[in-house]
Amino acid sequence: MGATRLRLLEGAPTTYEPLLSWVEEVAELTQPDRIHWVDGSEAEYRKLTDELVAAGTLTRLNPDLFPNSFAAFSDPADVARVEEQTFICSRNERDAGFTNNWMEPAEMKTKLKGLFSGSMRGRTMYVIPFVMGHLDAEDPKFGVEISDSAYVVASMRIMARIGTDVLKKIEQTNAFFVPALHSVGAPLEPGQADVPWPCNPEKWIVHFPEERSIWSYGSGYGGNALLGKKCYALRIASVMARDEGWLAEHMLILKLTSPEKKVYNVAAAFPSACGKTNLALLDPTIEGWKVETLGDDITWMRFGKEGELRAVNPEAGLFGVAPGTGWGTNPNAMRAIAKGNSIFTNVALTDDGGVWWEGMTEEVPAHLTDWRGNDWTPEADRPAAHPNSRFCTPIDQIDMLAPEYFAPNGVEVHAILFGGRRKTTIPLVTQSRDWANGIFMGATLSSETTAAAAGAVGVVRRDPMAMLPFIGYDAGDYLNHWVRLSGKGNPARLPKIFLVNWFRRTREGGFAWPGFGDNSRVLKWAIERIEGAADAVETPIGFVPTAESLDLDGLDMTPEQVEEAVRFDADEWRDEVPGLEEWFARFGGSLPLSLTNELEGLKKRLG
Ligand code: GDP
Ligand code: PGA
Ligand code: MN
């Protein structure tokens, strides 16, 4: 084999046969001009970003404002995840379930091979060894992304642990790695000039769960192209987790310390653009409570030796929604961003070489260059930054990062929040009656769609455990996995489950609850419920706070306004039931019985 090896592989920094032969196979298919093995070094990052600046993909920001930071502007048709073009190609259609697109794997492979054939012509093929989670975890989860985008390489260096150390460990331990293939689908003919954001109108984000492989074509956008994130750490990992007895979830994790110095770790599942990053970096508005960040998007959980649920964050960076992130709402994120070393995508540029987006500062700059490169003034009737514009920032730049982030075995989870974006019906916070009722809250979670995915915004849809676009297998099997796995935990140490909604509206249309830092009041109530210290009203859906049981010290709200945020409305809930029945009917036979029972119980209690 060695003698006939492709010339492009000369000088490869590895002799690991499974990797060499995959890289060779991909190079033969995609026909790049050259192969670059990514070492993850700072020198390499500098060189790549210099090249991206020269190519017009990146704009270097004013280093006095944002050191070592860049802005990228995508093709206007490549700004979000494409759920319609995302596929789970399991061998059997049944195993993809009704929440996923499916195509027969061999047929899909044929289609993809056609698309990838020659797709890297005129470009460099980057080989990016990466690990999700800790390199020294008991069972590290490796991947190798092949991509023809240097923007992807630079972003992956922020979002995951990548490079030489990872490659060495893969070789030394003869490890399995997820082959994750990415092409922007824009080959260059000899002499053809490149565009700043190459991509293809046709996009395919495809997962082969049994093979544990990923093929992504046509997009350069985060969730479609940084394959360690949603594609691996959620879709493929959820399948690994099902087979190996753990959980891969769309959750933030935060560490909460009470005035008595007791520590509680809280995991929370919210759909994309529904507040994970903001809650993870929360700046409490109440005295004596401290929040530290563990993770802002993805949480892997498994039961520990004592039957406690333990969580780790497999990522190394933040890929946060920019609009709405500001000095007023999220100073911790702003401080992390201001340290630099970040890549911004589709934000607006200020005249002094900085970035701006809606909600960053109270004062709106008099002049900006918007994300499309046009002049922008406050009179414009369009936003300056794209609603799904993002900042990509190393997680260790967060001052409030909990030291336990670096612990390979993670932390014990004491509470789980499920939350969505609902104008009505869902109170600010509801404590589940028990674990089964909590799973029901997760299974029936609903939210209005956001700009994080292509398509209409503001449509209410069911989003089980905030995993609707990310479950790599049948949704009913996924809920069964939750039920069965938690049966193996120590019942006394199972986290307590709460349903939250920061987005309820008043009759006048404004937010019923100020949110952001004031969500610490909800966290405090949840912890006090766990400790048996806070009052609540029992309702058909669970326990909601009495107005007096919430710490409202320093909050500028009347008791009536608080009541509007926390109130349980029986009429709204009776209107909700047909939607719940329809949702459960879609699972066919694969829904856990305990959930059907929960719905029956709820209907009875609602009368
Ligand atoms: P993620 O995608 O789940 O991480 O969501 P983010 O934390 O990035 O928030 C998405 C959007 O929701 C941003 O525009 C935030 O400003 C907004 N947001 C986050 N938390 C709150 C909150 O508590 N109340 C309100 N009204 N908006 C919020
Ligand atoms: P998020 O998703 O909004 O949950 O951070 C990131 C993405 O859509 O790629
Ligand atoms: Mn986020």
- Gap between the Cα atoms of 253 and 35, Å rounded: 38
> What pairing do the DSSP bridges indicate for beta strands 247-249 and 299-303?
antiparallel
pLDDT tens profile 515-529: 999 999 999 999 999
pLDDT tens profile 54-64: 999 999 999 99
CB of 205 closer than 8 Å to CB of 194? no
pLDDT tens profile 115-168: 999 999 999 999 999 999 999 999 999 999 999 999 999 999 999 999 999 999
- Closest ligand 2 atom number to CA of residue 226: 9
Annotated ligand binding at 484? The verdict is: no
Helix 42-55 × helix 150-159 angle, to 10°: 140
Domain residue ranges of the chain, discontinuous segments joined by +: 15-56+85-244, 248-317+404-606, 319-396
Domain 319-396 coded CATH 3.50.70.10: no
CB of 498 closer than 8 Å to CB of 418? yes
- Evaluate if residue 318 carries a pLDDT over 90: yes
- Gap between the Cα atoms of 260 and 75, Å rounded: 51
Distance 319 CA to ligand 2 centre (A): 7
- Gap between the Cα atoms of 594 and 596, Å rounded: 6
Residue 601 DSSP SS3: helix
Q: What is the pTM of this model?
A: 0.97
Give first-to-last CA distance, the chain, whole Å: 72
Residue nearest to atom 13 of ligand 1 (CA): 324
Mean per-residue pLDDT, 177-201: 98
Residue 558 DSSP SS3: coil
Confirm whether 274 is a catalytic residue: yes
Give domain 15-56+85-244's CATH superfamily: Phosphoenolpyruvate Carboxykinase, domain 1 (3.40.449.10)
Distance 173 CA to ligand 2 centre (A): 32
Instruction: Tell me the chain's radius of gyration from C-alpha atoms.
Output: 24
Mean per-residue pLDDT, 233-255: 98
- Evaluate if residue 291 carries a pLDDT over 80: yes
Mean per-residue pLDDT, 591-606: 98
User: Which tokens go with 248?
Assistant: 């891969």
Ligand 2, CB within 6 Å, residue ranges? 81, 222-223, 230, 272-273, 297, 319, 321, 452
Place of tokens 């069911």: 462
Annotated ligand binding at 446? The verdict is: no
Q: Name 477's Cβ contacts closer than 8 Å, sequence gap at least 6.
A: 95, 97, 242, 590
Distance 421 CA to ligand 1 centre (A): 9
> 537 - beta bridge partners?
544
Average per-residue pLDDT for the chain: 97
Distance 374 CA to ligand 1 centre (A): 27
Specify the pLDDT at position 3: 54
Ligand 1, CB within 6 Å, residue ranges? 270, 272-278, 320-321, 323-325, 329, 502-503, 511, 515-516, 519
- Closest ligand 1 atom number to CA of residue 359: 16
Residue nearest to atom 11 of ligand 1 (CA): 273
Q: Which ligand is nearest to the CA of 226?
A: 2
Helices within 404-463 (DSSP H only): 435-443
- Evaluate if residue 1 carries a pLDDT over 50: no
Q: Name 432's Cβ contacts closer than 8 Å, sequence gap at least 6.
A: 438, 440, 441, 496, 497, 498, 499, 542
The pick from 234, 297, 313, 450 for probing ligand 2's pocket by mutation, whose C-beta has the most ligand atoms within 8 angstroms, reads 297
Residue 506 DSSP SS3: coil
> What ipTM is given for this predicted complex?
0.97
Nearest in space to 76 (alpha carbons), one of 345, 276, 318, 429: 345
- Evaluate if residue 2 carries a pLDDT over 50: no
The pick from 278, 321, 468 for probing ligand 2's pocket by mutation, whose C-beta has the most ligand atoms within 8 angstroms, reads 321
Q: Which CATH class is domain 248-317+404-606?
A: alpha beta
Farthest-apart Cα atoms in the chain, separation: 79
User: Which tokens go with 31?
Assistant: 């026909």
